Structure 1
Amino acid sequence: MDGDQALADAGTDFASGRAVYTIGIFGEPSETAPWMVQFGGHHLGLNLVIDGPHSVMTPTLTGAQPAIYKRGGRTVRVLAGENDKAFALLDALDAQQRKQAILPYAVDDLVAGPGHDGETIVPEGIRGAALNAAQKEMLMDIIGEWAGIINDTYAAPRLQEIREGLDETWFAWSGPTTHEPDRNGSSYYRIQGPHLLIEFSPQGVGGDPTLHVHTVYRDPTNSYGSRFTAP
Protein backbone atom coordinates (compact mmCIF):
# COMPACT_ATOMS: atom_id res chain seq x y z
CA MET A 1 0.00 0.00 0.00
CA ASP A 2 2.81 2.39 0.81
CA GLY A 3 4.50 1.64 -2.52
CA ASP A 4 1.21 2.40 -4.20
CA GLN A 5 1.10 5.70 -2.33
CA ALA A 6 4.62 6.46 -3.59
CA LEU A 7 3.32 5.85 -7.11
CA ALA A 8 0.37 8.19 -6.50
CA ASP A 9 2.68 10.85 -5.07
CA ALA A 10 4.73 10.70 -8.28
CA GLY A 11 1.55 11.34 -10.29
CA THR A 12 -0.64 8.84 -12.14
CA ASP A 13 -3.52 9.12 -14.57
CA PHE A 14 -5.43 6.37 -12.76
CA ALA A 15 -6.73 5.76 -9.24
CA SER A 16 -3.87 4.80 -6.94
CA GLY A 17 -2.73 5.42 -3.38
CA ARG A 18 -4.21 4.69 0.03
CA ALA A 19 -7.28 6.86 -0.55
CA VAL A 20 -8.73 4.44 -3.11
CA TYR A 21 -8.46 1.20 -1.13
CA THR A 22 -11.82 -0.28 -0.25
CA ILE A 23 -13.20 -2.86 2.15
CA GLY A 24 -16.23 -5.08 1.65
CA ILE A 25 -17.92 -7.42 4.12
CA PHE A 26 -20.03 -10.24 2.67
CA GLY A 27 -22.46 -11.96 4.98
CA GLU A 28 -22.77 -11.21 8.68
CA PRO A 29 -19.65 -11.45 10.89
CA SER A 30 -20.09 -14.57 13.01
CA GLU A 31 -18.12 -16.96 15.20
CA THR A 32 -19.85 -19.96 13.64
CA ALA A 33 -21.31 -19.11 10.19
CA PRO A 34 -19.14 -18.26 7.16
CA TRP A 35 -18.53 -14.67 6.14
CA MET A 36 -15.97 -12.84 4.03
CA VAL A 37 -13.79 -9.74 4.11
CA GLN A 38 -12.49 -8.32 0.85
CA PHE A 39 -9.88 -5.57 0.96
CA GLY A 40 -7.88 -4.06 -1.85
CA GLY A 41 -6.86 -1.42 -4.32
CA HIS A 42 -4.18 -1.05 -6.95
CA HIS A 43 -1.81 -4.05 -6.61
CA LEU A 44 -3.55 -5.59 -3.62
CA GLY A 45 -6.59 -7.85 -3.51
CA LEU A 46 -7.16 -9.80 -0.27
CA ASN A 47 -10.06 -12.24 0.01
CA LEU A 48 -10.50 -13.69 3.50
CA VAL A 49 -13.27 -16.17 4.24
CA ILE A 50 -13.81 -17.01 7.92
CA ASP A 51 -15.91 -20.00 8.93
CA GLY A 52 -15.55 -20.64 12.65
CA PRO A 53 -12.25 -22.54 13.12
CA HIS A 54 -11.45 -22.33 9.40
CA SER A 55 -10.03 -19.39 7.50
CA VAL A 56 -9.10 -19.14 3.81
CA MET A 57 -7.14 -16.32 2.18
CA THR A 58 -7.28 -17.52 -1.40
CA PRO A 59 -7.35 -16.20 -4.01
CA THR A 60 -5.18 -13.22 -3.10
CA LEU A 61 -3.18 -10.89 -5.33
CA THR A 62 -0.24 -8.88 -4.06
CA GLY A 63 1.95 -6.67 -6.20
CA ALA A 64 4.30 -3.73 -6.26
CA GLN A 65 4.78 -0.60 -8.33
CA PRO A 66 7.31 0.71 -7.62
CA ALA A 67 8.98 -2.28 -5.96
CA ILE A 68 11.68 0.01 -4.57
CA TYR A 69 11.25 3.58 -3.35
CA LYS A 70 12.35 6.06 -0.69
CA ARG A 71 10.29 6.84 2.40
CA GLY A 72 11.47 8.92 5.35
CA GLY A 73 15.09 8.83 4.21
CA ARG A 74 15.25 5.04 3.88
CA THR A 75 14.93 2.66 0.96
CA VAL A 76 11.91 0.36 0.97
CA ARG A 77 11.81 -2.78 -1.19
CA VAL A 78 8.39 -4.40 -1.61
CA LEU A 79 8.17 -8.21 -2.04
CA ALA A 80 11.81 -8.54 -1.02
CA GLY A 81 11.29 -11.80 0.88
CA GLU A 82 9.28 -13.33 -1.94
CA ASN A 83 12.10 -12.46 -4.35
CA ASP A 84 15.20 -13.21 -2.27
CA LYS A 85 14.02 -16.52 -0.84
CA ALA A 86 13.18 -17.83 -4.30
CA PHE A 87 16.60 -16.91 -5.65
CA ALA A 88 18.17 -18.56 -2.59
CA LEU A 89 16.35 -21.81 -3.35
CA LEU A 90 17.41 -21.65 -7.00
CA ASP A 91 21.03 -21.13 -5.88
CA ALA A 92 20.75 -24.16 -3.57
CA LEU A 93 19.82 -26.50 -6.43
CA ASP A 94 22.54 -28.59 -8.05
CA ALA A 95 23.06 -28.60 -11.83
CA GLN A 96 20.63 -31.44 -12.49
CA GLN A 97 17.95 -29.95 -10.25
CA ARG A 98 18.32 -26.54 -11.94
CA LYS A 99 17.91 -28.19 -15.32
CA GLN A 100 14.57 -29.57 -14.13
CA ALA A 101 13.42 -26.36 -12.45
CA ILE A 102 14.21 -23.83 -15.20
CA LEU A 103 11.60 -23.76 -17.95
CA PRO A 104 12.79 -23.74 -21.58
CA TYR A 105 10.53 -20.81 -22.45
CA ALA A 106 9.78 -17.32 -21.17
CA VAL A 107 6.84 -16.50 -18.91
CA ASP A 108 6.13 -12.79 -18.60
CA ASP A 109 2.72 -12.64 -16.92
CA LEU A 110 0.53 -14.46 -14.43
CA VAL A 111 -0.86 -17.68 -15.88
CA ALA A 112 -3.59 -17.95 -13.23
CA GLY A 113 -4.26 -14.28 -12.58
CA PRO A 114 -7.64 -12.57 -12.11
CA GLY A 115 -10.37 -14.15 -14.20
CA HIS A 116 -8.75 -17.59 -14.24
CA ASP A 117 -10.60 -19.28 -11.36
CA GLY A 118 -11.06 -23.00 -11.86
CA GLU A 119 -8.50 -23.39 -14.63
CA THR A 120 -6.05 -26.31 -14.53
CA ILE A 121 -2.31 -25.83 -15.06
CA VAL A 122 -0.08 -28.80 -15.82
CA PRO A 123 2.71 -28.86 -13.16
CA GLU A 124 6.19 -28.01 -14.46
CA GLY A 125 9.68 -27.65 -13.05
CA ILE A 126 11.17 -29.72 -10.26
CA ARG A 127 9.00 -31.85 -8.00
CA GLY A 128 9.30 -31.52 -4.24
CA ALA A 129 10.21 -35.18 -3.91
CA ALA A 130 13.42 -34.41 -5.83
CA LEU A 131 14.53 -31.85 -3.21
CA ASN A 132 16.60 -32.64 -0.15
CA ALA A 133 15.41 -31.77 3.36
CA ALA A 134 17.12 -28.36 3.46
CA GLN A 135 15.76 -27.42 0.05
CA LYS A 136 12.25 -28.44 1.11
CA GLU A 137 12.50 -26.11 4.10
CA MET A 138 13.59 -23.30 1.78
CA LEU A 139 10.55 -24.00 -0.39
CA MET A 140 8.28 -23.87 2.67
CA ASP A 141 9.93 -20.59 3.66
CA ILE A 142 8.97 -19.06 0.31
CA ILE A 143 5.40 -20.36 0.60
CA GLY A 144 5.17 -18.82 4.07
CA GLU A 145 5.49 -15.36 2.50
CA TRP A 146 1.88 -15.88 1.36
CA ALA A 147 0.35 -18.64 3.47
CA GLY A 148 1.86 -17.36 6.72
CA ILE A 149 0.75 -13.72 6.73
CA ILE A 150 -2.51 -14.27 8.65
CA ASN A 151 -2.47 -14.98 12.39
CA ASP A 152 -0.98 -18.23 13.69
CA THR A 153 -4.33 -19.80 14.56
CA TYR A 154 -5.32 -19.90 10.92
CA ALA A 155 -1.85 -20.04 9.33
CA ALA A 156 -0.63 -23.14 11.20
CA PRO A 157 -3.17 -25.66 9.79
CA ARG A 158 -2.80 -24.14 6.32
CA LEU A 159 0.99 -24.49 6.38
CA GLN A 160 0.68 -28.03 7.71
CA GLU A 161 -1.66 -28.96 4.85
CA ILE A 162 0.85 -27.57 2.35
CA ARG A 163 3.75 -29.37 4.05
CA GLU A 164 1.92 -32.69 3.84
CA GLY A 165 1.74 -32.27 0.07
CA LEU A 166 5.28 -30.96 -0.35
CA ASP A 167 6.57 -34.02 -2.24
CA GLU A 168 3.88 -33.33 -4.86
CA THR A 169 4.61 -29.59 -4.97
CA TRP A 170 6.48 -28.25 -7.99
CA PHE A 171 8.89 -25.31 -8.34
CA ALA A 172 9.29 -23.78 -11.82
CA TRP A 173 11.50 -20.87 -12.91
CA SER A 174 11.68 -18.65 -16.00
CA GLY A 175 14.18 -15.89 -16.63
CA PRO A 176 17.56 -14.74 -15.30
CA THR A 177 19.15 -16.75 -12.49
CA THR A 178 20.73 -13.74 -10.75
CA HIS A 179 19.56 -10.34 -9.57
CA GLU A 180 21.19 -7.16 -8.35
CA PRO A 181 21.78 -7.04 -4.57
CA ASP A 182 19.03 -5.25 -2.65
CA ARG A 183 16.81 -5.19 -5.71
CA ASN A 184 14.14 -7.57 -7.04
CA GLY A 185 14.98 -9.57 -10.15
CA SER A 186 13.11 -9.85 -13.44
CA SER A 187 12.42 -13.60 -13.16
CA TYR A 188 9.11 -15.43 -12.99
CA TYR A 189 8.51 -18.44 -10.75
CA ARG A 190 5.61 -20.72 -9.90
CA ILE A 191 4.95 -23.03 -6.95
CA GLN A 192 2.19 -25.56 -7.53
CA GLY A 193 0.95 -28.30 -5.22
CA PRO A 194 -2.19 -30.29 -4.37
CA HIS A 195 -3.66 -27.33 -2.44
CA LEU A 196 -1.47 -24.50 -3.66
CA LEU A 197 -0.65 -22.24 -6.57
CA ILE A 198 1.70 -19.29 -6.23
CA GLU A 199 3.04 -17.14 -9.06
CA PHE A 200 5.59 -14.32 -8.91
CA SER A 201 5.59 -12.35 -12.15
CA PRO A 202 7.61 -9.18 -12.87
CA GLN A 203 5.87 -6.98 -15.42
CA GLY A 204 7.40 -5.18 -18.39
CA VAL A 205 5.04 -2.20 -18.09
CA GLY A 206 7.09 0.92 -17.45
CA GLY A 207 10.27 -0.45 -19.02
CA ASP A 208 11.84 -1.98 -15.89
CA PRO A 209 10.21 -5.29 -14.87
CA THR A 210 12.01 -5.29 -11.51
CA LEU A 211 9.96 -2.26 -10.45
CA HIS A 212 6.54 -3.70 -11.31
CA VAL A 213 5.57 -7.12 -9.94
CA HIS A 214 2.34 -9.11 -9.75
CA THR A 215 1.84 -12.19 -7.57
CA VAL A 216 -1.11 -14.50 -7.06
CA TYR A 217 -1.81 -16.99 -4.27
CA ARG A 218 -4.50 -19.65 -4.78
CA ASP A 219 -5.82 -22.89 -3.40
CA PRO A 220 -7.53 -24.53 -6.39
CA THR A 221 -9.39 -26.89 -4.03
CA ASN A 222 -10.72 -24.13 -1.78
CA SER A 223 -11.27 -20.96 -3.78
CA TYR A 224 -13.15 -18.40 -1.67
CA GLY A 225 -13.54 -21.06 1.04
CA SER A 226 -15.63 -23.34 -1.19
CA ARG A 227 -14.46 -26.43 0.68
CA PHE A 228 -16.18 -25.15 3.81
CA THR A 229 -19.05 -23.09 2.42
CA ALA A 230 -20.35 -25.03 -0.60
CA PRO A 231 -23.79 -26.60 0.02
Structure 2
Amino acid sequence: MSGTRSQTDVTAAMREAAHALLSVLDPAQVRQLRAGPGRLDAPELREWTYLPGRRPGLCTEGLDAGQRAAVDALLATAHSAAGAELARGAIEVERHRRGTTGSPDADRYWVRLLGDPAGDAPWAWRLNGHHLAVHVLVTAAGIRVTPHFVGSEPARISTGEQSGRRLLGPEEGLARELVTDLDAGARAAALFAATPPDDILTRDDPFADPGRLPDGLTYAHLAPRQQRLLERLLRRYLDRAPVPYADECWSEAVARGLGSVSFAWAGGLAPGDRHYYCVRAPDFLIEYDNTQDDGNHAHSVWRHIRHDWGIDLLRGHYTEQHGGPRSAP
Protein backbone atom coordinates (compact mmCIF):
# COMPACT_ATOMS: atom_id res chain seq x y z
CA MET A 1 0.00 0.00 0.00
CA SER A 2 1.03 3.60 -0.27
CA GLY A 3 2.33 4.10 3.28
CA THR A 4 3.34 7.67 3.87
CA ARG A 5 4.14 8.45 0.24
CA SER A 6 1.58 10.55 -1.64
CA GLN A 7 1.02 11.70 -5.19
CA THR A 8 2.46 15.03 -4.06
CA ASP A 9 5.73 13.25 -3.27
CA VAL A 10 5.65 11.55 -6.67
CA THR A 11 5.08 14.79 -8.58
CA ALA A 12 7.81 16.55 -6.60
CA ALA A 13 10.30 13.79 -7.47
CA MET A 14 9.19 13.89 -11.09
CA ARG A 15 9.57 17.65 -11.28
CA GLU A 16 13.05 17.41 -9.74
CA ALA A 17 14.06 14.71 -12.22
CA ALA A 18 12.78 16.75 -15.16
CA HIS A 19 14.80 19.79 -14.04
CA ALA A 20 17.84 17.56 -13.53
CA LEU A 21 17.53 16.30 -17.10
CA LEU A 22 17.18 19.82 -18.49
CA SER A 23 20.26 20.90 -16.55
CA VAL A 24 22.55 18.35 -18.25
CA LEU A 25 21.39 18.98 -21.82
CA ASP A 26 22.85 21.55 -24.18
CA PRO A 27 20.55 24.11 -25.84
CA ALA A 28 20.17 22.07 -29.03
CA GLN A 29 19.18 19.00 -27.05
CA VAL A 30 16.66 21.00 -25.04
CA ARG A 31 15.08 22.13 -28.31
CA GLN A 32 14.84 18.49 -29.40
CA LEU A 33 13.34 17.51 -26.06
CA ARG A 34 10.67 20.13 -26.56
CA ALA A 35 10.11 19.25 -30.22
CA GLY A 36 6.77 20.26 -31.69
CA PRO A 37 4.38 22.90 -30.40
CA GLY A 38 5.02 21.76 -26.83
CA ARG A 39 1.47 22.66 -25.79
CA LEU A 40 -0.87 20.36 -23.94
CA ASP A 41 -3.71 21.26 -26.31
CA ALA A 42 -1.69 20.12 -29.34
CA PRO A 43 -2.75 16.89 -31.12
CA GLU A 44 0.70 15.43 -30.46
CA LEU A 45 -0.28 14.83 -26.83
CA ARG A 46 -2.27 11.80 -27.97
CA GLU A 47 -0.05 10.58 -30.82
CA TRP A 48 1.95 7.47 -30.01
CA THR A 49 3.14 4.11 -31.29
CA TYR A 50 4.95 1.05 -29.95
CA LEU A 51 6.34 0.10 -33.38
CA PRO A 52 9.92 0.76 -34.55
CA GLY A 53 10.67 4.16 -36.04
CA ARG A 54 11.52 7.72 -35.15
CA ARG A 55 9.46 9.90 -32.81
CA PRO A 56 9.54 13.62 -32.10
CA GLY A 57 11.72 14.55 -29.17
CA LEU A 58 15.22 13.91 -27.87
CA CYS A 59 16.70 10.55 -28.90
CA THR A 60 18.67 8.67 -26.25
CA GLU A 61 21.12 7.53 -28.92
CA GLY A 62 24.20 9.71 -28.58
CA LEU A 63 23.54 10.88 -25.02
CA ASP A 64 26.50 10.73 -22.69
CA ALA A 65 26.43 8.64 -19.53
CA GLY A 66 25.27 11.48 -17.30
CA GLN A 67 22.49 12.50 -19.67
CA ARG A 68 21.29 8.91 -20.04
CA ALA A 69 21.31 8.52 -16.25
CA ALA A 70 19.08 11.60 -16.01
CA VAL A 71 16.64 10.08 -18.52
CA ASP A 72 16.62 6.82 -16.56
CA ALA A 73 15.96 8.70 -13.32
CA LEU A 74 12.99 10.51 -14.88
CA LEU A 75 11.63 7.21 -16.23
CA ALA A 76 11.84 5.68 -12.76
CA THR A 77 9.63 8.41 -11.28
CA ALA A 78 6.71 7.26 -13.45
CA HIS A 79 6.81 3.79 -11.92
CA SER A 80 6.84 1.74 -8.78
CA ALA A 81 10.05 -0.17 -8.13
CA ALA A 82 8.58 -3.20 -9.93
CA GLY A 83 7.28 -1.04 -12.76
CA ALA A 84 10.66 0.61 -13.24
CA GLU A 85 12.27 -2.83 -13.41
CA LEU A 86 9.76 -3.83 -16.08
CA ALA A 87 10.44 -0.68 -18.13
CA ARG A 88 14.20 -1.24 -17.89
CA GLY A 89 13.60 -4.85 -18.85
CA ALA A 90 11.86 -3.82 -22.07
CA ILE A 91 14.97 -1.84 -22.99
CA GLU A 92 17.26 -4.75 -22.11
CA VAL A 93 15.23 -7.24 -24.15
CA GLU A 94 15.28 -4.85 -27.08
CA ARG A 95 19.09 -4.70 -26.82
CA HIS A 96 19.14 -8.50 -26.95
CA ARG A 97 16.91 -8.50 -30.02
CA ARG A 98 19.12 -6.03 -31.83
CA GLY A 99 22.17 -8.12 -30.97
CA THR A 100 20.65 -11.27 -32.43
CA THR A 101 19.83 -9.47 -35.68
CA GLY A 102 23.37 -8.16 -36.09
CA SER A 103 22.45 -4.58 -35.19
CA PRO A 104 23.90 -3.94 -31.72
CA ASP A 105 23.25 -0.22 -32.00
CA ALA A 106 22.73 2.15 -29.11
CA ASP A 107 19.30 2.39 -27.48
CA ARG A 108 16.92 4.55 -29.49
CA TYR A 109 14.12 5.95 -27.36
CA TRP A 110 12.67 9.43 -27.62
CA VAL A 111 11.92 11.68 -24.68
CA ARG A 112 9.48 14.53 -25.21
CA LEU A 113 8.48 17.31 -22.83
CA LEU A 114 5.26 19.30 -23.21
CA GLY A 115 4.67 22.28 -21.00
CA ASP A 116 6.99 23.48 -18.26
CA PRO A 117 7.81 21.51 -15.10
CA ALA A 118 8.40 24.80 -13.31
CA GLY A 119 5.40 26.44 -11.67
CA ASP A 120 1.90 25.12 -11.11
CA ALA A 121 0.66 24.75 -14.69
CA PRO A 122 0.05 21.22 -16.06
CA TRP A 123 2.90 19.60 -17.94
CA ALA A 124 3.57 16.26 -19.56
CA TRP A 125 6.39 14.06 -20.71
CA ARG A 126 6.82 10.72 -22.39
CA LEU A 127 9.40 8.14 -23.32
CA ASN A 128 8.65 6.17 -26.48
CA GLY A 129 10.47 3.58 -28.53
CA HIS A 130 10.06 0.07 -29.86
CA HIS A 131 8.04 -1.90 -27.28
CA LEU A 132 8.08 0.77 -24.60
CA ALA A 133 5.63 3.66 -24.38
CA VAL A 134 5.27 5.63 -21.15
CA HIS A 135 3.06 8.75 -21.01
CA VAL A 136 2.79 11.03 -17.99
CA LEU A 137 0.60 14.06 -17.27
CA VAL A 138 1.27 16.12 -14.15
CA THR A 139 -1.00 18.69 -12.52
CA ALA A 140 -1.38 20.05 -9.00
CA ALA A 141 -4.20 17.50 -8.55
CA GLY A 142 -2.05 14.48 -9.33
CA ILE A 143 -0.63 12.39 -12.17
CA ARG A 144 -1.78 10.08 -14.93
CA VAL A 145 0.46 7.42 -16.49
CA THR A 146 -1.54 5.84 -19.30
CA PRO A 147 -1.40 4.65 -22.01
CA HIS A 148 1.33 2.37 -20.66
CA PHE A 149 2.75 -0.21 -23.07
CA VAL A 150 5.46 -2.82 -22.58
CA GLY A 151 6.43 -5.40 -25.18
CA SER A 152 8.99 -8.16 -25.33
CA GLU A 153 10.57 -9.57 -28.50
CA PRO A 154 11.34 -12.36 -27.90
CA ALA A 155 8.85 -13.18 -25.17
CA ARG A 156 11.23 -15.88 -23.95
CA ILE A 157 14.95 -15.37 -24.47
CA SER A 158 16.71 -18.61 -25.36
CA THR A 159 20.31 -17.53 -25.89
CA GLY A 160 23.00 -15.37 -24.34
CA GLU A 161 23.30 -13.84 -20.90
CA GLN A 162 19.53 -13.36 -20.55
CA SER A 163 18.67 -16.93 -21.56
CA GLY A 164 15.43 -18.07 -19.93
CA ARG A 165 14.16 -14.55 -19.24
CA ARG A 166 10.43 -13.98 -19.71
CA LEU A 167 9.89 -10.28 -19.18
CA LEU A 168 6.10 -10.55 -19.27
CA GLY A 169 5.98 -14.01 -17.73
CA PRO A 170 3.75 -12.99 -14.77
CA GLU A 171 1.31 -11.20 -17.09
CA GLU A 172 1.02 -14.38 -19.14
CA GLY A 173 1.15 -16.88 -16.30
CA LEU A 174 -1.57 -15.36 -14.13
CA ALA A 175 -3.99 -15.17 -17.06
CA ARG A 176 -3.27 -18.74 -18.14
CA GLU A 177 -3.72 -19.99 -14.60
CA LEU A 178 -7.10 -18.28 -14.52
CA VAL A 179 -8.39 -19.57 -17.85
CA THR A 180 -7.24 -23.14 -17.24
CA ASP A 181 -8.87 -23.15 -13.79
CA LEU A 182 -12.31 -22.48 -15.29
CA ASP A 183 -14.79 -25.30 -15.69
CA ALA A 184 -16.10 -26.14 -19.15
CA GLY A 185 -19.08 -23.78 -19.04
CA ALA A 186 -17.14 -20.82 -17.69
CA ARG A 187 -14.29 -21.40 -20.11
CA ALA A 188 -16.71 -21.41 -23.02
CA ALA A 189 -17.89 -17.95 -21.91
CA ALA A 190 -14.33 -16.65 -21.58
CA LEU A 191 -12.97 -18.05 -24.86
CA PHE A 192 -14.07 -15.86 -27.76
CA ALA A 193 -11.94 -17.21 -30.63
CA ALA A 194 -9.83 -20.25 -31.44
CA THR A 195 -7.42 -18.05 -33.39
CA PRO A 196 -6.10 -15.04 -31.49
CA PRO A 197 -5.84 -11.57 -33.04
CA ASP A 198 -2.40 -10.71 -34.36
CA ASP A 199 -1.99 -7.71 -32.04
CA ILE A 200 -3.77 -5.84 -29.27
CA LEU A 201 -7.16 -4.75 -30.54
CA THR A 202 -6.90 -1.10 -29.50
CA ARG A 203 -3.53 -0.78 -31.28
CA ASP A 204 -2.14 2.76 -30.85
CA ASP A 205 -5.50 4.52 -31.04
CA PRO A 206 -5.51 7.96 -29.40
CA PHE A 207 -8.52 6.93 -27.33
CA ALA A 208 -9.14 3.35 -26.24
CA ASP A 209 -12.54 2.05 -27.28
CA PRO A 210 -13.64 -0.75 -24.93
CA GLY A 211 -16.29 -1.68 -27.49
CA ARG A 212 -13.53 -3.24 -29.57
CA LEU A 213 -12.96 -5.87 -26.91
CA PRO A 214 -15.04 -9.02 -26.45
CA ASP A 215 -17.44 -9.28 -23.52
CA GLY A 216 -15.84 -12.29 -21.86
CA LEU A 217 -16.63 -13.78 -18.45
CA THR A 218 -17.38 -11.43 -15.56
CA TYR A 219 -15.80 -11.43 -12.13
CA ALA A 220 -19.21 -12.07 -10.59
CA HIS A 221 -19.34 -15.45 -12.33
CA LEU A 222 -15.92 -16.60 -11.11
CA ALA A 223 -15.26 -18.86 -8.17
CA PRO A 224 -13.48 -17.17 -5.22
CA ARG A 225 -10.07 -18.60 -6.15
CA GLN A 226 -10.53 -17.39 -9.72
CA GLN A 227 -11.60 -13.96 -8.51
CA ARG A 228 -8.36 -13.71 -6.56
CA LEU A 229 -6.39 -14.63 -9.68
CA LEU A 230 -8.16 -11.92 -11.66
CA GLU A 231 -7.47 -9.42 -8.87
CA ARG A 232 -3.78 -10.34 -8.93
CA LEU A 233 -3.73 -9.92 -12.71
CA LEU A 234 -5.33 -6.49 -12.44
CA ARG A 235 -2.87 -5.41 -9.77
CA ARG A 236 0.04 -6.66 -11.86
CA TYR A 237 -0.80 -3.96 -14.42
CA LEU A 238 -1.89 -1.20 -12.06
CA ASP A 239 1.19 -1.73 -9.92
CA ARG A 240 3.41 -0.63 -12.76
CA ALA A 241 2.53 2.92 -11.64
CA PRO A 242 3.84 4.80 -8.60
CA VAL A 243 2.29 3.22 -5.53
CA PRO A 244 -0.03 6.12 -4.55
CA TYR A 245 -1.57 6.28 -8.01
CA ALA A 246 -1.79 2.49 -8.34
CA ASP A 247 -3.62 2.33 -5.01
CA GLU A 248 -5.97 5.10 -6.11
CA CYS A 249 -6.84 3.24 -9.32
CA TRP A 250 -7.44 0.02 -7.40
CA SER A 251 -9.59 1.73 -4.78
CA GLU A 252 -11.70 3.31 -7.50
CA ALA A 253 -12.16 -0.06 -9.20
CA VAL A 254 -13.24 -1.69 -5.94
CA ALA A 255 -15.59 1.18 -5.10
CA ARG A 256 -17.28 0.93 -8.51
CA GLY A 257 -17.61 -2.81 -8.00
CA LEU A 258 -15.49 -5.60 -9.44
CA GLY A 259 -18.54 -7.67 -10.38
CA SER A 260 -18.72 -6.28 -13.93
CA VAL A 261 -14.99 -6.62 -14.65
CA SER A 262 -14.63 -9.18 -17.46
CA PHE A 263 -11.91 -11.49 -18.71
CA ALA A 264 -11.68 -12.92 -22.23
CA TRP A 265 -9.15 -15.23 -23.90
CA ALA A 266 -8.41 -16.32 -27.46
CA GLY A 267 -6.04 -18.95 -28.82
CA GLY A 268 -4.36 -21.95 -27.26
CA LEU A 269 -4.11 -22.72 -23.56
CA ALA A 270 -0.74 -24.47 -23.38
CA PRO A 271 2.52 -22.59 -22.83
CA GLY A 272 3.96 -21.74 -26.22
CA ASP A 273 0.57 -21.56 -27.94
CA ARG A 274 -0.31 -18.29 -29.64
CA HIS A 275 -2.79 -16.49 -27.42
CA TYR A 276 -4.44 -13.21 -26.42
CA TYR A 277 -6.44 -11.96 -23.47
CA CYS A 278 -8.10 -8.79 -22.32
CA VAL A 279 -9.65 -7.41 -19.14
CA ARG A 280 -12.43 -4.83 -19.29
CA ALA A 281 -13.39 -2.70 -16.31
CA PRO A 282 -15.69 0.33 -16.17
CA ASP A 283 -12.73 2.71 -16.04
CA PHE A 284 -9.83 0.90 -17.68
CA LEU A 285 -8.83 -1.95 -19.96
CA ILE A 286 -5.90 -4.30 -20.26
CA GLU A 287 -4.73 -6.23 -23.31
CA TYR A 288 -2.03 -8.82 -23.83
CA ASP A 289 -1.05 -10.82 -26.89
CA ASN A 290 1.69 -13.30 -27.63
CA THR A 291 0.93 -14.19 -31.21
CA GLN A 292 3.67 -12.95 -33.51
CA ASP A 293 6.87 -14.91 -34.26
CA ASP A 294 4.97 -18.14 -33.61
CA GLY A 295 4.01 -17.10 -30.09
CA ASN A 296 7.32 -15.61 -28.99
CA HIS A 297 6.62 -11.87 -29.27
CA ALA A 298 4.46 -10.34 -26.55
CA HIS A 299 2.62 -7.02 -26.16
CA SER A 300 0.90 -5.66 -23.07
CA VAL A 301 -0.98 -2.42 -22.53
CA TRP A 302 -2.91 -0.66 -19.76
CA ARG A 303 -5.35 2.03 -20.90
CA HIS A 304 -7.62 4.18 -18.75
CA ILE A 305 -10.88 4.97 -20.48
CA ARG A 306 -11.39 8.31 -18.69
CA HIS A 307 -7.84 9.16 -17.63
CA ASP A 308 -5.66 8.43 -20.69
CA TRP A 309 -3.34 11.37 -21.37
CA GLY A 310 -4.60 12.99 -18.16
CA ILE A 311 -7.55 14.45 -20.04
CA ASP A 312 -9.68 14.43 -16.89
CA LEU A 313 -7.05 16.34 -14.90
CA LEU A 314 -6.56 18.84 -17.70
CA ARG A 315 -10.27 19.53 -17.95
CA GLY A 316 -10.47 19.93 -14.19
CA HIS A 317 -7.54 22.35 -14.21
CA TYR A 318 -8.90 24.49 -17.04
CA THR A 319 -12.35 24.54 -15.51
CA GLU A 320 -10.98 25.69 -12.16
CA GLN A 321 -8.33 28.08 -13.44
CA HIS A 322 -9.92 29.43 -16.61
CA GLY A 323 -13.63 29.31 -15.99
CA GLY A 324 -14.55 26.49 -18.32
CA PRO A 325 -13.39 23.37 -20.18
CA ARG A 326 -13.12 25.06 -23.58
CA SER A 327 -9.31 25.32 -23.35
CA ALA A 328 -8.82 21.65 -22.56
CA PRO A 329 -7.94 19.13 -25.27
TM bucket normalised to smaller? 0.7 to 0.9
Instruction: Report if aligned partners of 1:136, 1:166 keep a CA contact under 8 Å in 2.
Output: no
Contact 1:6 1:17 in 2 (8 A): no
Match of 2:270 among 178, 188, 191: 178
CA distance in structure 2 between the aligned counterparts of 1:167 and 1:225, rounded to whole angstroms: 26
Q: Check the 8 A contact 2:191/2:216 in 1, yes or no.
A: yes
More helix by share: 2
Cα offsets for 1:137-196 (capped at 9, x unmatched): 21121122221112211111011122333211110010111215xxxx421001011011
Name the counterpart of 1:96: 185
- Taking a change above 3 Å as real, the CA distance of residues 9 and 140 of structure 1, as seen in their structure-2 partners, is same
AA partner of residue 172 (structure 1):
A
Tell me, yes or no, if the aligned pair for 1:31 and 1:51 is still in contact at 8 Å.
no
Corresponding residue to 1:47 among 109, 126, 135? 135
Q: Distance in 2 between matches of 1:31 and 1:89?
A: 47
1:131 to 222, 232, 236: 222
Taking the aligned partners of 2:286 and 2:164, their CA distance within structure 1 comes to 27
In the alignment, what sits opposite 1:203?
291
Larger Rg: 2
Q: Bigger CA drift: 2-11 or 93-102?
A: 93-102
TM-score (norm 2): 0.62
Matching of residue 35 in structure 1 with residue 123 in structure 2? yes
The 5-angstrom pairing of residues 56-135 of structure 1 reads 56-69=144-157, 70-72=159-161, 74-108=163-197, 109-115=199-205, 117-121=207-211, 123-135=214-226
Kept in 2, the 8 Å contact 1:4–1:17? The answer is no
Match of 1:153 among 244, 251, 266: 244
Task: Tell me the amino acid that sits aligned with residue 116 of structure 2.
Answer: E
Gaps of 5+ in 1: none
What 5-or-longer segments of structure 2 have no aligned partner? 1-90, 316-324
- Contact 2:153 2:297 (C-alpha < 8 Å) held by counterparts: yes
Aligned to 2:276: 188
CA shift, 1:53, in A, is 4.4
In the alignment, the residues of structure 2 paired with residue 151 and residue 116 of structure 1 have an alpha-carbon distance, to the nearest angstrom, of 23
Q: Does 1:142 align with 2:227?
A: no
CA distance in 2, matches of 1:118, 1:124: 15
Count of aligned pairs between the two proteins: 222
TM-score, structure 1 normalization? 0.86
Q: Which of 300, 308, 322 does residue 223 from structure 1 map onto? A: 308
User: Taking structure 1 as reference, are residues 102 and 196 closer, same or farther at Cα in structure 2, changes over 3 Å only?
Assistant: same
Residue 50 of structure 1 deviates from its aligned partner by 2.3
Deviation at 1:32, TM superposition (A): 4.6
In the alignment, is the contact (CA less than 8 A) between 1:47 and 1:57 conserved in 2? Answer: yes
Comparing both structures, which one devotes a greater share of its residues to strand? 1
Cα distance in 2 for residues equivalent to 1:215 and 1:85: 13
Letter in 1 for 2:306: T
Partner Cα separation in structure 1 for residue 235 and residue 160 of structure 2? 26
**SS state of the match for residue 6, structure 1?**
helix
Q: Contact 1:64/1:214 (CA < 8 Å) preserved in 2?
A: yes
